[in-house]
Structure 1
Amino acid sequence: MAWNVFKFCTGLKVIGSVMIVVVLAVVGVSYYAVIIFNYAPHLIKGGSEAAIALIVVILFHVLLLMLLWCYFTVIFTDPGGVPQSWWPSPIEDLENQTTPLASTVSPPSGPNVPMVAQGPLVRYCRKCSHFKPPRCHHCSVCKRCVLKMDHHCVWVVNCVGARNYKFFLLFLLYTFLETTLVTAALLPQFIVFLSDADVEVVHPGILATIFLAFVLNLAFALSVLGFLIMHISLVAGNTTTIEAYEKKVSARWRYDLGPKKNFEQVFGTWKLYWLLPMYAEEDLRKMTVLHGLDYPLRPELDS
């Protein structure tokens, strides 16, 4: 039996609340090091360095605004739970089948009541005592079934699922861009900090703040880049972290509709909304996949 790496996550909810403070603290340290100490004074003084300072200040604030917008959107957006009225259809989820069900039978009266009847096999959550839609998994941290669950993220104190996965990806994107900008902006100061060159006397606390901001942002940029690459490959194949862990890699994934359609299932069809943590009303109305209950199959399987 495969080792379930997710069953040891029950203590993450307590840690997650602290992570919000950590994120805001890193933002505060970075803001002081880049804007208040370095580039705002150059912008005020003018001269040859004012143009570069203006570009850095504008980019920093734009990326920071998008980062925080996406971050809190992930935190406060419900990833999607199973509606009480949901009932499996005859062609529902065929993955990890455990409980046979015919469309005419009633829900079980208890979590330990198996049902044997004619019809397709669907999955049943014994912890929540209800059937699970396609691609739905139970979160041991949130203690409920989450639609198209990718993982429980301690940094956002929330599950990443069908209805906030796009926002999570945008949070990763803007975090990478912002931390890369901060690292590049502080690199000259960091080199001076490590060199023996004669520089004007700076308060040790300021130097420590610059050093800390540079190291933290470099570490975040490198780690987030790895997550971005991983999730780009997941989106391209229309799979989630849990599904990639569970499914056989030798067989083509039943939900893989091609890179373009796979991308649209996460980001929508309106290009103007691709980089914003929101969806077009038309996409929310027409694309049932964004609600997390219905997913089209590959043409050769959808028959």
Structure 2
Amino acid sequence: MILESLNFLTKYDNSFIPLSELVMLLWCYFAVVFMDPGTVPPNWKPAADEERGEVDPLNGVELSNLQSDPANQRFRYCRKCSQPKPPRCHHCSVCGRCVLKMDHHCVWVVNCVGALNYKYFLLFLVYTFLETTLVTISLLPHFKTYFSDGEIPGTPGTLATTFLTFVLNLAFSLSVLGFLVLHVSLVASNTTTIEAYEKKTTSKWRYDLGRRKNFEQVFGMDKRYWFIPAYSEEDIRRMPVLQGLEYPSTPDFNAQEF
């Protein structure tokens, strides 16, 4: 729809074509599609298992018991994958595997949105909103001619295309805006869509470190990379959270764990 709208706009004014936003939109889209959202490493073990060593590892029953114990929220076990699950990891029934910090399975990108591609998904929403909004604004003067008293220029096919393109872009822009606002609120509280549903029964969220740190856990600390679907090598090295396996908790929760 966006590409058709841009092709149509070239007939009116090339200055209205936001090529930079289109390039970023496509870059972010393909990054979400082809980037693995994050899977549990084959040899990953919870901290308690590492303390016991290879001779006496935790079995599935013990991990299940730990998972059911509220005092041991770090130890989780997936019965479908028959393997331990890192914190904030969930099993995707569509992909048939556990996804690190899973947010949801998105049919639009034919992929899960998880720890390793969540930033790319958010940027895809941002640039999609900007693109559709710019197209809508560009078409607004032509759309207003439908309600004027003068003669409307153009063939019937062109007029129908203008009207339909404006309405579709406006509706799509508003729907993406609502979705974007939802995810901005999730980032601000360091929560995924799944966790937002789960934490309704808790009074305080263990991973809420403040808006600044919550933002950095998704977008990184290097400001130069905030608006592109990539991370700096320094951020990848300094921030284990970007790998989807380790997540710092608030001091109150850290004190309860030990």
Q: Is TM-score (shorter-chain normalized) higher than 0.5?
A: yes
Structure-2 separation of matches of 1:300 and 1:184: 49
Aligned residue runs from structure 1 range 241-260, under 5 A? 241-248=193-200, 251-260=203-212
Match of 2:85 among 125, 132, 135: 132
CA apart distance, 1:193: 2.9
Greater share of helix: 2
SS in 1 for 2:200: coil
Give, as a single letter, the amino acid of the residue that structure 2 aligns with 1:82: V
SS in 2 for 1:239: coil
Distance 1:125 1:190, change over 3 A: same
- Are 2:246 and 1:272 equivalent residues in the alignment? no
CA apart distance, 1:228: 1.1
- Who is 1:89 aligned against? 47
Structure-1 separation of matches of 2:43 and 2:150: 70
Structure-2 separation of matches of 1:266 and 1:120: 25
Contact conserved, 1:29 with 1:209, CA < 8 A, in 2? Answer: no
- Who is 2:166 aligned against? 214
- Who is 1:238 aligned against? 190
Number of residue pairs the alignment of both structures matches: 246
Q: Can you list the C-alpha shifts for 1:23-76, whole angstroms capped at 9, x where unaligned?
A: xxx122111222x22113xxxxxxxxxxxxx3x23xx11111111111111111
Match of 1:159 among 98, 112, 115: 112
- Are 2:237 and 1:290 equivalent residues in the alignment? no
Q: Can you list the C-alpha shifts for 1:139-179, whole angstroms capped at 9, x where unaligned?
A: 11111000000001111111000000000000011111111
Match of 2:11 among 25, 37, 41: 37
Report the TM-score, using the length of structure 2 for normalisation: 0.89
- Who is 1:21 aligned against? none
Identity, in percent, stands at 60
Can you give the 5+ residue segments of structure 2 that lack an aligned partner in the other structure?
Answer: none
Report the TM-score, using the length of structure 1 for normalisation: 0.77
Structure-2 separation of matches of 1:32 and 1:205: 15
SS in 1 for 2:77: strand
Structure-2 separation of matches of 1:271 and 1:299: 27
CA apart distance, 1:210: 1.5
Contact conserved, 2:2 with 2:132, CA < 8 A, in 1? Answer: no
CA apart distance, 1:250: 5.0
Match of 1:64 among 22, 34, 57: 22
SS in 2 for 1:70: helix
- Who is 1:187 aligned against? 140
- Who is 2:32 aligned against? 74
Contact conserved, 2:132 with 2:172, CA < 8 A, in 1? Answer: yes
CA apart distance, 1:301: 2.1
Structure-2 separation of matches of 1:194 and 1:139: 50
Q: Can you list the C-alpha shifts for 1:89-132, whole angstroms capped at 9, x where unaligned?
A: 13xxxxxxxxxx79524354xxxx52378894621111111011
Structure-2 separation of matches of 1:196 and 1:164: 51
SS in 2 for 1:82: coil
- Who is 1:10 aligned against? none
